[in-house]
Structure 1
Amino acid sequence: MKNKEKYADLIKTISTPCIIEEYYSGENCKEYEGCKGCFGRFLKWLEEEANLEKKQFSANELAIMKSIHKDFNFIARDKDSELYVFVSKPIKIVRAWGNNDESEQSELAIFSHLFSSVQWEDKEPVRIDDYVKR
């Protein structure tokens, strides 16, 4: 995911033509003679990969993730706190994460008490390979 995607809603709220002034409070625009390079740096940043906040998992949770079959790539929790793994990236649908093919998902009922950092409120499902090598 690129910065322009991650911060799209925030970027839409820019109320001044000066990006330094809007996002870098504490920076003094007067030091940037005529905003040299400011807008160019911002455009370059938009195209860079966003730094996603990594979740913290216990050693046991990481061991479980490592043991999940390689076909399953994502973990997410539905609104009823049930934990699932998915082959392809799911999307939020009313009260659950899902995709077009229910055979591409599996409930992890015996591990629902674990993975407390995986929440229904998450904007994205957890990509397993971002945390463990399988």
Structure 2
Amino acid sequence: MKNKEKYEKEIVEIACSGGSISIIKKSGRIVPCNGAICSLCLFRGYDCEEKTREWAESEYIERPVVSKRDRVFLEYIGTGINYITRDMDGGLFIYISKPHKLIDCWESSGCESDKSLKFFKLDFPMVKWEDSEPWLIEDLKKLEVVENYE
């Protein structure tokens, strides 16, 4: 599905009122161009009409979100824990040092052992075994917070 298909309703609404679209970089929200500050727009810069056209024709990419429950956990673990991964069997683990992927699990070369999260009721559906890199806790903290995952 292309972006123009995913956001068809919002684009048509703005176009029918005589405007062009702008996308706020931080939130991904579509707003009328005349209502946005250029420095916040995804299309900012020279030839924003061409950038808008390229965005509309590109494939839609789902933006990850984090649930309130998972976000509270991220605050609970505090500083020092920097990474989170999911092993092949579905288990979540946290690390101080950046882990690397082995055959069926992740392993940190630091002196700490991995910390399993199996006793917590956490989801983190964006953290997948298929990921080529571990997730940074700080990156997860920056995601939009939703009540529950859909």
Structure 1 unaligned residues grouped into runs of 5+: 1-52
Q: By how many angstroms is 1:113 displaced?
A: 4.9
User: How many matched pairs?
Assistant: 81
Report if the CA contact (8 A) 1:82-1:109 is conserved: yes
Q: Percent identity?
A: 32
Higher relative strand content: 2
Structure 2 unaligned residues grouped into runs of 5+: 1-61, 143-150
Which residue of the other structure, out of 95, 98, 103, is the alignment partner of 2:107?
Answer: 98
Per-residue CA distance 1:40-96 (angstroms, 9 max, x = gap)? xxxxxxxxxxxxx86321111111111113111001000011110000111101100
Report if the CA contact (8 A) 1:82-1:112 is conserved: no
Which residue of the other structure, out of 98, 101, 119, is the alignment partner of 1:89?
Answer: 98
Quote the residue 2:70 is aligned against: 61
Runs of 4+ aligned structure 1 residues displaced above 4 Å come to: none
Aligned Cα root-mean-square deviation (Å)? 2.2
TM-score (norm 1): 0.53
Higher relative helix content: 1
TM-score (norm 2): 0.48
The 5 Å alignment of 1:99-118 reads 99-101=108-110, 103-111=112-120, 113-118=122-127
